[in-house]
Amino acid sequence: MPRMRLDKLLAHLSCGSRKEVQAMIRSGRVQVDGAVQTDPAAKVDPDESQVALDGAVQGYRAQRYYMLNKPAGVITANRDDRHETVLGLFPAELRRGLFAVGRLDKDTEGLLIVTDDGALSHALMSPARHVSKVYEAAVEGALAPDAAERFAAGLGLKDGTVCRPARLEVLAQQAERTQVRVTLREGKYHQVKRMIAAVGGTVVQLRRVQLGGLTLDPALPAGAFRELTEAELALLQQPGVQLG
């Protein structure tokens, strides 16, 4: 891996914000290969150097797992000639080998896992595992009164596709808009938008807030990412919300 600034490395390892880790480094709490390093701009090779904070070694894991708060307007792809991509939100020195787990539409925001662990990605996306996905959506138009029951029973889409049982909850009802939470245990193309359309609404804003047992960190701004903690990695591998 190319050499990178010490403060940047520690921030990517979730030791704190860039500002916070700079203060930690300046106050002498960080050692590189056993020697205190007080310069946040010092260059280190994450593969070669041992970096410790308060004596605890902060290593890159063999595999990398990031939580990204995907902003609207970027596509879930590694590279694209015309559009900004989710991988483009990562600095070049981290990007190599990374890919997004599953896909969110260009206009969808929220929780996206970016990793270099193909086995984990496969397990999370496997239709047989039914890992839950929770979305919050702003919807225009009047939803059918029996929409939640139809979601729970296994909704038929306009093209004849039948969805697995899902959950629809109304969070808030405004004059023109309804805020809803949708919980699925599968991931068909444009599934939330198509399910909402089948019960009379139009999704005007969509955000994924949970995947398996892992919830999007509310403090992570749109467009930002950070490494998962060990606890979060374990939560991600749980099936999440049970439906019926």
Active-site positions read: 105
**Residue 75 Cβ, how far from ligand URA at the closest point, in Å?**
11
Per-residue string for binding with ligand URA, 197-216, x by CB under 6 A?
A: ---------x----------
Q: Which residues are CB-neighbours of 143 under 8 A, at least 6 positions away?
A: 170, 178, 180, 196, 199, 200, 201
Options 30, 32, 75, 104; binder of ligand URA; rule CB under 6 A = 104
> Which part of the chain contacts ligand URA (CB under 6 A), choosing from 23-31, 67-75, 102-110, 166-174?
102-110
**Whether the Cβ atoms of residue 195 and residue 157 lie closer than 8 Å to each other:** yes
Options 105, 116, 217, 227; binder of ligand URA; rule CB under 6 A = 105
By CB under 6 A, residue 193 contacts ligand URA? yes
Nearest to 134 by CA among 176, 171, 88, 175: 171
Nearest to 79 by CA among 64, 92, 62, 69: 92
By CB under 6 A, residue 101 contacts ligand URA? no
**Residue 31 Cβ, how far from ligand URA at the closest point, in Å?**
43
Toward ligand URA, which CB reaches closer, 153 or 209? 209
Tally of CA atoms within 13 A in the half-sphere of 48 that contains its CB: 7
Toward ligand URA, which CB reaches closer, 132 or 191? 191
**Whether the Cβ atoms of residue 31 and residue 73 lie closer than 8 Å to each other:** no
By CB under 6 A, residue 86 contacts ligand URA? no
**Residue 19 Cβ, how far from ligand URA at the closest point, in Å?**
33
Please spell the DSSP secondary structure of 136-151, one letter per residue: EEEEESPPPTTHHHHH
Toward ligand URA, which CB reaches closer, 186 or 227? 186
CA dist., res. 90 & res. 68, Å (int): 10
E-assigned strands of the chain?
Answer: 4-5, 30-32, 35-36, 43-44, 51-53, 56-57, 65-70, 99-100, 108-115, 133-140, 167-173, 177-184, 202-211, 214-215, 225-227
**Residue 133 Cβ, how far from ligand URA at the closest point, in Å?**
7
Toward ligand URA, which CB reaches closer, 12 or 151? 151
Q: What does the binding site for ligand URA look like in residue numbers (CB under 6 A)?
A: 104-105, 108, 190-193, 206
